[in-house]
Structure 1
């Protein structure tokens, strides 16, 4: 079953107890004026979901590092309601997380998913033209002329210059993208959906950033991705670069769809005047979707829970916070599918998922998200489950449910489509919601129930409308 792994972005919000990463502001001089502080904390993991230790975390000029469990904490000056956090570690692409402080709050969680560098090579001769490719590239992803580089201070690069190139695939995991899919405009901000991105950076021997000289240009090619099999790739889209200081994407040019060697559309090409994280995106119109979050007794939760929307048929996401009545208003793409999930960080809990089909007008979710703020129910589902699925595709699967309700595993199609990854979650009430990648079903929902006492797992999977297919099948499994 090939279900687009829309829920993977939610892995960036996996709930974990916050450990004590090192905090550099222990030695900060005392001020005669009391400065209001805000706590920024979170969890850093790799693409496989494993914690990453020793990550340099920077926010508001202050630094910390992640501990053995991937946790960090920073006490930063509370200035405005937005925080930008950078994550750096050798062997990984630079990552940037952003978040808004909740109204009346002075703390925020900013988690991050780090991606392994795709290419990390030294440039042998700066005087010659350069090109950089990955093993799967049909054409070089980045190309520029000789003697085209300069340090940020205007000096010539010293020693060998190291080039780092990484392709960011938002279809594999929306959380790999820096920022939160918001572009800065003259009138405010604009949500954008991605068709692929790359990150390309240069540093010389002493670690100084190296970029193109004034007047020099480079050609970049961004491998194109689309949200579903039936989606249409635009012939051209706006090109955005990521501003690491503000945490917003900035419009800078146009990227044009080009064919690969076989004639199929495969990458967006553009000419740029500097290196950065570049994203082939398209702004989209939004509508406001209102909803509510309640506990298992049916009582509304209070303020401060985070609600995340993930595009079901577009590669974008958004966030909102609940108010004192447990209500939220979130921006989603007009006339598109979105998946909603609520998160509580204290105590750590995750709600069930609700898929909503937005219309051309503002609307409301027909059901409240349900979340277990006591935590006991989720622990009862923990374990490894083995099962089979049937219908328009057939095969078997093995998944593990963690103590926080998150689900991860793999499956095999017996109809010639090989293996696929599975991710998702179970709510406190036992409602199962899964997504899978690389199979036959295109985009589908996989929902059902799990019984914490008997260990029985069962449900149905159904094609989503944008595949052009109807029907699906059933699945069943048992805790081992």
Structure 2
């Protein structure tokens, strides 16, 4: 608590220093992002529903370790095998869509919040005929009527459709979405992503068996483009589906901009995401008091100046007990860096210049001590 008071007192005098860590000889053409070496990390988290209420009895799994959330929705996992720039956990509970989170682990305890979405059957449609299912957001999916069981056998009967749309402007989008905005492009390279909206669709049969679109068939997805993104929305944009096994999004096809919507075809269902892709670099954030002591719990976001107007690109997370965090950010683009106290108070907004560096660091120094 002393740290939070110190942050508030130091707002007016907060200073931020931006430095590059590697040689400027590195060029985008020779750069290749990787997740680093093996290490172990500690994690603490909380699982909540869409009303921010804790969910007990959620199974949390990470690198072979499994734990169940307590009555207050919390969990801890220690000495988890991860990569230097990749840690992936999954959550599951009957009645909810599976949740997950991918983080860039830092030293000390990594804090994670996952907001799980309820399985919401919004429509029941017949197989064998074209059907359109819509949400109040105007997101809609058109099915041609061909479905199959998970084992590939044809399915004939009623199809229950569960569907959620995540607007890029949703203040909880990074808590609700799976993984993180990191994905694999069709050429195999790792990319960062800026979302223009995503949708989850799950299909169930009469006996709650899981279904998929039949092999060789597609469904059409139409999603609205947020008004603050219309001026930057490209004519075509990559489509990505989330791979629960790897914790990464995978590029598969594209959507076309038609009016104020993105429309594309998909051959299977999971989460689907319309995203601008960018080359990813690592940003390290170090927050200290004037005397060099680390500051815990500072939340950091990044937005692209060349991206959607006023849109927060990524919630990078919060600093750990050692005052640091690491995350993937766009390479060679000017970025707007924002830091917040644990109570949500904005304590700094800073433009970071474009850089070709693979790794760069932001130092936040709070020069006023709260002596007690």
TM-score, normalized by the shorter chain, greater than 0.5: yes
- Give the one of 43, 51, 55 matched to 1:52: 55
**Conservation of the 8 A alpha-carbon contact between 1:53 and 1:66:** yes
Q: Does 1:269 align with 2:235?
A: no
SS of the aligned residue for 1:52 comes to coil
Query: What is the alpha-carbon distance in structure 1 between the residues aligned to residue 79 and residue 323 of structure 2?
Result: 28
| Cα distance, 1:120–1:372 mapped onto 2, change above 3 Å | farther
1:195 equivalent in structure 2: 196
| Cα distance, 1:54–1:289 mapped onto 2, change above 3 Å | closer
| Cα distance, 1:315–1:209 mapped onto 2, change above 3 Å | farther
**Conservation of the 8 A alpha-carbon contact between 1:356 and 1:365:** no
- Give the one of 83, 86, 96 matched to 2:87: 83
Matches within 5 A, 1:111-122: 111-116=113-118, 119-121=120-122
**Conservation of the 8 A alpha-carbon contact between 1:242 and 1:278:** yes
**Conservation of the 8 A alpha-carbon contact between 1:131 and 1:144:** yes
| Cα distance, 1:100–1:367 mapped onto 2, change above 3 Å | closer
- Give the one of 297, 301, 311 matched to 1:309: 301
Larger C-alpha radius of gyration, 1 or 2?
1
Query: What is the alpha-carbon distance in structure 1 between the residues aligned to residue 91 and residue 369 of structure 2?
Result: 30
Q: Report deviation, 1:283.
A: 1.2
2:102 equivalent in structure 1: 98
Query: What is the alpha-carbon distance in structure 1 between the residues aligned to residue 167 and residue 367 of structure 2?
Result: 30
Query: What is the alpha-carbon distance in structure 2 between the residues aligned to residue 252 and residue 116 of structure 1?
Result: 26
- Give the one of 149, 153, 156 matched to 1:155: 153
Query: What is the alpha-carbon distance in structure 1 between the residues aligned to residue 105 and residue 124 of structure 2?
Result: 42
Matches within 5 A, 1:221-232: 221-225=222-226, 228=228, 231-232=231-232
- With normalisation by structure 1, the TM-score equals 0.56
Q: Report deviation, 1:195.
A: 0.7
Q: Report deviation, 1:196.
A: 0.7
| Cα distance, 1:213–1:291 mapped onto 2, change above 3 Å | closer
Q: CA RMSD in A?
A: 4.1
SS of the aligned residue for 2:126 comes to coil
2:288 equivalent in structure 1: 294
2:140 equivalent in structure 1: 141
Query: What is the alpha-carbon distance in structure 2 between the residues aligned to residue 182 and residue 365 of structure 1?
Result: 20
User: Which stretch of structure 1 is more off in the superposition, 172-181 or 189-198?
Assistant: 172-181
Matches within 5 A, 1:460-471: none
1:216 equivalent in structure 2: 217
User: Which stretch of structure 1 is more off in the superposition, 202-211 or 284-293?
Assistant: 284-293
1:424 equivalent in structure 2: none
Q: Does 1:168 align with 2:166?
A: yes
Query: What is the alpha-carbon distance in structure 1 between the residues aligned to residue 169 and residue 208 of structure 2?
Result: 32
Residue segments in structure 2 that go unaligned for 5+ positions in a row? 1-38, 305-309
Q: Does 1:71 align with 2:74?
A: yes
Query: What is the alpha-carbon distance in structure 1 between the residues aligned to residue 247 and residue 369 of structure 2?
Result: 31
Q: Does 1:249 align with 2:243?
A: no
2:9 equivalent in structure 1: none
| Cα distance, 1:360–1:77 mapped onto 2, change above 3 Å | closer
Q: Report deviation, 1:144.
A: 1.4
Q: Does 1:280 align with 2:274?
A: yes
| Cα distance, 1:315–1:152 mapped onto 2, change above 3 Å | farther
Query: What is the alpha-carbon distance in structure 1 between the residues aligned to residue 142 and residue 184 of structure 2?
Result: 28
Q: How many residues align?
A: 322
Bigger relative contact order (CA 8 A; separation at least 6): 2
SS of the aligned residue for 1:284 comes to strand
**Conservation of the 8 A alpha-carbon contact between 1:354 and 1:369:** no
**Conservation of the 8 A alpha-carbon contact between 2:163 and 2:201:** yes
Query: What is the alpha-carbon distance in structure 1 between the residues aligned to residue 78 and residue 154 of structure 2?
Result: 37
Matches within 5 A, 1:453-464: none
Query: What is the alpha-carbon distance in structure 1 between the residues aligned to residue 268 and residue 196 of structure 2?
Result: 20
Query: What is the alpha-carbon distance in structure 1 between the residues aligned to residue 81 and residue 328 of structure 2?
Result: 26
Query: What is the alpha-carbon distance in structure 2 between the residues aligned to residue 150 and residue 44 of structure 1?
Result: 33
**Conservation of the 8 A alpha-carbon contact between 1:322 and 1:328:** yes
Deviations, residues 179-198 of structure 1 (Å, cap 9, x unaligned): 21111244642111011111
